[in-house]
Structure 1
Amino acid sequence: MPDIGDDLREQPADADPAARPAATPEGAARGGNGPLRRIRDEFLRRREASVLVVALALGAYFASASEAFLTRDNMVNISQAAAPGAIVACGIVLLLVSGEIDLSVGVVAALAPFMMHYAIDYWGFPALAGILLALLTGTLVGLGNGFVTVVLKVPSFVTTLGSFYLVTGIVLTTSGAYPAEVPGPVDNAIGRWLGAADWAHLAWALVIVAFFHVLFTRTRWGLHTIAVGGNLLGAQEAGVRAGRIKIGNFMIAGTLGAFAGLLEAFRVHTIDPNLGGGTGLMFTAVSAAVIGGTALAGGSGTIVGGALGALVLAELQNGFNLIGISANPYFVILGGAILLAMIANVYLSRLRRAGKTR
């Protein structure tokens, strides 16, 4: 289990503040132990630091390369492109940290709006009940993935690959592979709040990322998630209910996938079998999580880093379009970024275990 006391500093027994030499101006100028150095060290210690620097650097570059980058309409485009990946990445981070993965979240995002459509237009559900049913569908898919993985001992990669094709078949069969209109009862004020308004995607993404950041870093659920992914046997011997943690994280990932699908449906005012992007949304979320500092091996990760990773990917896609670069090199850069992020994660993990980083 990772040392959850990484942030604590051991003080020498004889450390007397009065006996410490006063900081000299020369020492302060060199960085010394002054506040600037402490701020710098605290910043660099955080997993999100590198991806934040990359996001800011990309923003500065594309802003200088194209006057359209910082316009309001383009900022809306970037937020709407980044938000679904950031939202789904919250669930993917929790799963990766606990040692599992979900390949089906993209098609869950396609299924959820259809469930809302069927419930409201065919089964006579009220608007809010139809939306709740759509979210519950994602939760149940996650529950099924968790049950097969945890109880039946099937690797999550195989489990969710099977559910990916299963849900894809359900979507295509029930819809006839044709798009549908967003139900009238929700294509109004509710729709604006859930994706049709310009900044709705950004607002929901910020709220969800903030909530799961607190859940992951400040609650027992987050601590147990890290423990399960870092040392499963040790966590179980310590009394952590690993199965409940993993199944719960699968359910969270499925629910967030469904919610991202609803946001996209309301944004484009159409329910399409490929609305959730299929594997696209899933790979975007996994890529964002990895670029943001989450280790695929489990045991460590960051919710905020995953959201920033989604922002980086959205900036790249948007910036390439604005400066006239073909979309094809995007995948080259994405693959390189994932490889570099994984190499950096492995290297930094070794340094932390060796006690060479704070």
Structure 2
Amino acid sequence: MLPPQPIQLLDLRAQHAPIQPELDAAVRTTFHEAAFIQGGAVQQFAAELGQYVGGAHVVPCANGTDALQLALMSLGLPRGTEILVPAFTYVATWEAAAVLGLVPVPVDVAPDTYNLDPAAVAAAVTSRTGAILAVHLFGQCADLEVLRLLANQHNVPLLEDNAQAIGATFTFSTGQVWAAGTVGEVGTTSFFPSKNLGGFGDGGALFTRDAARAHTLRQLANHGQTRKYHHELIGLNSRLDTLQAALLRVKLPYLDAWTAARQHIATQYDAALLGHPSLRPPGRDPRSTHVFHQYTVQGPDLPGQREQLQQYLGAHGIPSAVYYPLPNHLQPAYAYLGHQLGEFPVAERLSRTVLSLPMHPMLTMAQVAYICQVLQAWA
């Protein structure tokens, strides 16, 4: 049994084809204006993205990792301050703290949503805690209500790594609906090409509702200056290229439609996996929308099972990927923190069992139906 047409884990060519004339026009305009650094498209994109996320200030930067580092720099924390981070996340979340001399303190995650476990966060807060850095992993918001409450109670900032969840929203018990990345003091995102809103190279941005903090973030991203050659702060050279901003402006109006397509595909996967004997679909927090940067299932926690599943899918023409095969507290780069195997059992189990299925808005319903059929046949 083979798929009706080749299946890609991500198909950017197919996604870009219908809007290629608009993308080409954006490139031509940028080349004609020849303002390749801090050109008009950068400010225009920042304003449009700010409107999209509910009126936040948007500070573009060079990439999502820089965005995390800039967010932490804006807090002015002394070296050695602890930053609570998920034990299960991409390394950039930890890396941004470590390169500043801050201490990433891992906190275990919820077994169904893969996001920070608020109870574990509450237990991890100490007098040395300088910030809580939540990640909205795979496209769904962490528990922003409880995390915001904990941050307020302990008088520490809440930061949001929103690289995988742009366009998601969280509904509070008051009925207020907030865009992911705008609840904390600072939110960050990435425009890496594979992201739901991806550029054609590296790019990133920060969100904040605080005008003064936005001013500081702009300074930090531009060598610590507000006037050329006058440097009030030690900063970075972290700018979003004009060309990337121009291309992202073309893509932003399509983001909601692409998200809806992802959500429809996820619904088909959910139905196919309902009651499956060995595969568990991702859990959904009813307070959060899910934009499905990834659709990540869990298999049995048995040696070799995930590899067998990947081989089975591959033999049927279905690609898959593991995000992430080794938790950060067990990575050699972070051995200096002294963590041991068994400290964060949920993160460790997820690293052994998760598998991400094809997820992009250009999957056809015939392809999705085929993937579902193959999954159902796996025992």
Q: Above 0.5 in TM-score?
A: no
TM-score (norm 2): 0.29
Structure in which a larger fraction of residues adopt strand: 2
Structure in which a larger fraction of residues adopt helix: 1
Structure with max Cα Rg: 1
Higher RCO structure (Cα 8 Å, ≥6 apart): 1
